[in-house]
Amino acid sequence: MALKNIPDIVVGRLPLYLRALQRMHDANQTVTSSQDLAARLGISAAQIRKDLSQFGEFGKQGTGYDIEYLMNQLSQILKVNRVWDIAVVGAGDIGSAVARYQGFTDRGYRITMIFDSNPNKIGTKVGSFVVQDAAHMVAAIQKAGVKVAMIAVPAANAQAVADELVKAGVQAILNYAPLSINVPEGVRVQHADPVTLLQRMTYYLD
Amino acid sequence: MALKNIPDIVVGRLPLYLRALQRMHDANQTVTSSQDLAARLGISAAQIRKDLSQFGEFGKQGTGYDIEYLMNQLSQILKVNRVWDIAVVGAGDIGSAVARYQGFTDRGYRITMIFDSNPNKIGTKVGSFVVQDAAHMVAAIQKAGVKVAMIAVPAANAQAVADELVKAGVQAILNYAPLSINVPEGVRVQHADPVTLLQRMTYYLD
DNA sequence: TAGATTGTTAATCGATTAACAATC
DNA sequence: TAGATTGTTAATCGATTAACAATC
């Protein structure tokens, strides 16, 4: 499916398109246009058309895009027409919240395990999961073949956890810890530290 | 302080520099260089120097940057040499987690209020806060002069909440709801939906 | 058909990188 | 001094936009 070399910045916009289409679908809308999407997303219509055209011809001149069809195509492209299992590391406030979060359903993901190294937390329940001992993490992830993980441990431990996840075969890491983690070529990382997003905004305030 | 028109993409990297400096400072490192930062961040040394040079001359040829000094400068530029109060809307899993999160301390932010519209939640405690009735939100935010807020409500209510926050005078919104919200010119929004970050990674997996 | 909107091209705009003189 | 690293310039690279023929 991934034909040409698509710029990562384009890949990063596809989830926004898919999300907007899902909202339109929720509202029983059946067709949309690049202009309609543009108005909702604050992205130019030309850019949306250009981005989509990298992957195929999904629209019809004069009428635009069929929402269900485009959702299906984008889901396929983003590989979320299946369900990816996720391992969560860290059963603190953030780890517990994502483990209980209902928002992954129908968007391609499902939490299946949560780990912590604190003996007081191991064995307790978080949502519907029993917190497992981080000492068994690598083996458990390997055995289950999990490829996606979230790091929600303190900054001081995050790089060590990332190293273990890589060793266990994880290929995509969402990192909530407040530092940049380094991983080998071929492993993907996205940073989700809320403070960097806040700082990016307060720059503009007085 | 904001002299020239700095590209937003540059502004967005400053928090990453500040965060890396804080980690180095934690490790008792006192000086760094653009190369040292580059290796940790996966950003080129030339770009780091160029970004910083937009705001002043912070380094010394031959030796690099004094970490404490550069931290102070970046804190000032990002306006986090003060503490911004934050209102959280939504006392579900995500809202409760951020309200309890300890990671804002010393990075320029402090949660001061949390709202929900569910009568079963109003009056209960989340961390050290009592959940307030969302019906009084606009008045409470106005009275306190809060300028920064986080949205952690279901998608269906997020735009209405954003409209209220804007009415209350909020100028920066961190949005955890899974949709793009629209705000007037002059109000900043950052999106923190974890699923869009995950989808951006699974595209590359097989 | 007439109106609307796509997919795509070429032009513009902006961001990144390489290189190096200045200098600590 | 010699070595290292900055700040900055010019060149390169890449992304966005405007425009329009094609066509539903």
Q: What pLDDT digit, counting tens, does each position of B50-94 carry? A: 999 999 999 999 999 999 999 999 999 999 999 999 999 999 999
Residue A14 CA distance to nucleotide C11 C1' (Å): 26
Residue B58 CA distance to nucleotide C24 C1' (Å): 13
Reading the block at residue A47, the tokens are 């850019």
| pLDDT tens readout for residues B108-161 | 999 999 999 999 999 999 999 999 999 999 999 999 999 999 999 999 999 999
Mean residue pLDDT of chain A comes to: 97
Cα dist from A76 to A27, A107, A122, B179, whole Å: 22, 12, 37, 20
Reading the block at residue B12, the tokens are 């967005």
Q: Write out residues whose CB is closer than 7 A to strand D.
A: A 7-10, 43-44, 46-47, 49-50, 60-63; B 33-35, 45-46, 49-50, 52-53, 57-65
Contacts of A190 in chain B (CB under 8 A): 197-198, 200-201
pLDDT grade, residue B2 (50/70/90)? very low
Q: Given the structure tokens 């935010």, which residue do they identify?
A: B141
Residues within 8 A of B (CB atoms), A 36-95 only: 40-42, 77-80, 84, 86, 93-94
The amino acid at residue B197 is: L
Q: Judge contact between B15 and B78, C-beta under 8 A.
A: yes
Is A204's Cβ below 8 Å from some Cβ in B?
yes
pLDDT grade, residue A62 (50/70/90)? very high
B162-B190-A22 Cα angle (round to 5):
70
| pLDDT tens readout for residues A157-188 | 999 999 999 999 999 999 999 999 999 999 99
| Beta strand B59-60 pairing with B64-66 | antiparallel
Taking the C-alpha atoms of residue A168 and residue A146, their distance in angstroms, rounded to an integer, is 8
Report which of B196, B192, B206, B204 is spatially closest to residue A17, judged by C-alpha positions. B196
Which residue's CA is nearest to the C1' of nucleotide D9?
B50
- Percentage of chain B modeled with pLDDT above 70: 98
**A97 to chain B: nearest residue by CA?**
B93
Q: What pLDDT, on a 0 to 100 scale, did the predictor assign at position A2?
A: 47
Three-state DSSP class for residue A113: strand
Name the DSSP letter for residue B58: -
Does A3 score more than 60 pLDDT?
Answer: no
Contacts of B26 in chain A (CB under 8 A): 155-156
Q: Judge contact between B57 and A58, C-beta under 8 A.
A: no
Taking the C-alpha atoms of residue A195 and residue B174, their distance in angstroms, rounded to an integer, is 10
> What number is the average pLDDT over the span A30-54?
98
**B93 to chain A: nearest residue by CA?**
A97
pLDDT grade, residue A1 (50/70/90)? very low
Cα distance from B198 to chain A (closest Cα, Å)? 7
The pair phi, psi for residue B28, each rounded to 5°, is 65, 20
